[in-house]
Every structure is written in C-alpha cells, then in structure tokens.
C-alpha cells in the first residue's frame, strides 16, 4: 500500500483558481488548513482524524474555524496538533466566541476541536502515521512535518521556509519532498525578507540534500504566489533547476494526487 497525498491547495493566495496550502494524507491526516473546507466534501471533512498546523499565518490556519463548525454540525470531532503559539492565536483571535464559537470547548462531552501541543523533533502518532515536527526558517516556531506510514513510506513537507541550515537535511530522507517555492528568482529580495524560497534557493537546498544522501527524492513544489511573477516563469526556472540537478520537480496543482 502506498501513502496517498492529495493536494487541496498549492498556493499562498486564494482566488477562484488558486487555494491556500492544505495537504491530505490517506484521507485522514491534514497538513495545514488553507483550503480544508472548500477542498473537501462534508463527508470527506468528517473523515479527517488529525490536522497538523505548521505556523500561525492566516493562509495556513484559515479553515480551522470553518472545519470546526462543520464537524460540530455533523456531531463529530478532530484533533488539532500545533505549537502553543498557533493554539493561542486560534483561540484568542478566531475561536474566541466573538468571531466564531469556541469550538475547542463545545460540546461538553467531547470538544469538536481538541488541541494537542507539539514540540520540534518530538514525534506524534496519529492513527497509522507518525509525524515528526521539525523547525524550519520562517516566523517563530514554524515547523515542517515528516510523515511516516506503517509501511515505512516517508514524506516531508517544509511548510513555509527560507534557506535552511547546511546540515538540515542530514537526518531527513523522504521519498517525496513537498517544498515551498513562493516566487521566481527576480523576487529574491522580497522572498528572502519574508522567509520563503525561489527556484535558485531551492537548488541550494537540493545540493545540500545530495551531499548527505547521494540522490534526491521526488520533489513537489507548493505555496506558489500567483501575483509575484507568472507561473510559466516559475515553471521555466524550476525546469532549469531540475535539469541542472537531474531532479524530478513538479509544481503542485489543486486537486493533484500523488502516491508516495
């Protein structure tokens, strides 16, 4: 059995053509909540068991209140795994009884959204997956996630990140790397200030990765910004990286499914 990845959102901006980042693994596990509700039917939402949130930015947490309300209506629930900072942001800014109900406190018997705090490098088991949060280079406490299934298949999602420490990849060796590449190379100044990647910055990571492991995993890019340069420009630059590094690099699209 393969691990199945479904990309609900592959971008950082929301429009009729683009959705914010959400990845679904084997129908039950969600990484980030940029498009969990608009990307899944009610039945599919009700099957979610655990949602892991990488950091507090809106494009990654926005569908938590909407998901919670839907689950509450359907008399079901889900576990939300995140840092204390993300939990605090959600319960004070969104699930505060003013913007939206306190879905982490209702109903009395079993809360609709149950928060579990995660720490860097401390693996968590959710169903048949083991998730290891790893600190990346973005705003405070942003964590990427390594997901391993019962058969030993491994995926790594970087979440939002700028250039990583040289030895970052030493102990990370997935079959599929889901990495953010936000904008083309001419946006490097903006991208670096905001803690993101361009194709050339990705290329440096791939060189570092190869120095530890010899070869490269399959690569899927997410978090593209549709208004910071054209997607054809980004695609052309990623094709250049793939050719130079002898790598398989695909830009993710909404609705794409990948077997790991």
Where does this chain bind Zn ion (CB under 5 A)? 12, 57, 59, 160
Nearer to Zn ion, 10 or 249 (CB): 10
Nearer to Zn ion, 17 or 215 (CB): 17
Nearer to Zn ion, 71 or 134 (CB): 134
Nearer to Zn ion, 181 or 241 (CB): 181
Quote the least distance from Cβ 160 to Zn ion, whole Å. Answer: 4
Please answer whether residues 139 and 161 qualify as being in contact, where contact means their C-beta atoms are separated by less than 8 angstroms. no
Nearer to Zn ion, 34 or 68 (CB): 34
Task: State both tokens at 199.
Answer: 């194709």
Strand partners, 125: 130
Quote the least distance from Cβ 59 to Zn ion, whole Å. Answer: 4
Quote the least distance from Cβ 21 to Zn ion, whole Å. Answer: 6
Please answer whether residues 28 and 56 qualify as being in contact, where contact means their C-beta atoms are separated by less than 8 angstroms. no
Quote the least distance from Cβ 223 to Zn ion, whole Å. Answer: 6
Nearer to Zn ion, 106 or 194 (CB): 194
Quote the least distance from Cβ 55 to Zn ion, whole Å. Answer: 6
The H or E element that residue 31 is part of is strand 29-31
Q: How far apart are CA 63 and CA 41, in angstroms?
A: 13
CA distances from 41 to 48, 60, 127, 167, 175 (A): 11, 19, 21, 41, 29
Q: How far apart are CA 19 and CA 226, in angstroms?
A: 10
Nearer to Zn ion, 57 or 141 (CB): 57
Nearest CA among 21, 108, 36 for reference residue 66 = 36
Nearest CA among 33, 32, 259 for reference residue 149 = 259
The total of other beta-carbon atoms located within 10 Å of residue 163's CB is 16
Asked if omega into 107 is within 30° of 0 (cis), the reply is yes
Quote the least distance from Cβ 221 to Zn ion, whole Å. Answer: 13
Task: State both tokens at 128.
Answer: 């048949």
Q: How far apart are CA 11 and CA 13, in angstroms?
A: 6
Quote the least distance from Cβ 20 to Zn ion, whole Å. Answer: 7
């Amino acid at each position: 059995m393969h691990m199945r990845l479904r990309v609900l959102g592959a971008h950082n901006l929301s429009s009729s053509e683009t959705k914010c980042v959400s990845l679904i693994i084997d129908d039950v596990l969600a990484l980030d909540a940029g498009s969990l509700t608009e990307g899944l039917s009610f039945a599919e939402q009700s099957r979610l068991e655990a949602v892991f949130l990488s950091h507090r930015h809106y494009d990654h947490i926005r569908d938590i209140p909407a998901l919670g309300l839907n689950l509450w209506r359907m008399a079901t629930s889900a576990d939300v795994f995140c840092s204390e900072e993300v939990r605090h942001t959600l319960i004070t800014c969104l699930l505060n009884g003013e913007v939206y109900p306190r879905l982490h406190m209702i109903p009395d018997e079993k809360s609709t959204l149950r928060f579990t705090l995660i720490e860097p490098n401390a693996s968590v088991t959710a169903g048949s997956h083991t998730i290891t949060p790893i600190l990346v280079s973005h705003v405070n406490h942003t964590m990427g996630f390594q997901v391993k299934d019962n058969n030993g298949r491994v995926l790594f999602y970087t979440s939002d990140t700028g250039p990583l420490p040289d030895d970052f990849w030493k102990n990370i060796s997935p079959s599929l790397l889901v990495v953010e590449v936000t904008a083309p190379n001419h946006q490097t100044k903006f991208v670096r200030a905001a803690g993101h990647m361009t194709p050339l910055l990705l290329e440096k990571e791939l060189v570092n990765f190869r120095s530890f492991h010899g070869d490269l995993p399959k690569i899927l890019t997410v978090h593209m910004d549709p208004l910071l340069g054209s997607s054809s420009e980004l695609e052309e630059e990623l094709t250049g990286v793939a050719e130079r590094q002898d790598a398989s690099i695909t830009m993710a699209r909404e609705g794409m499914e990948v077997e790991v």
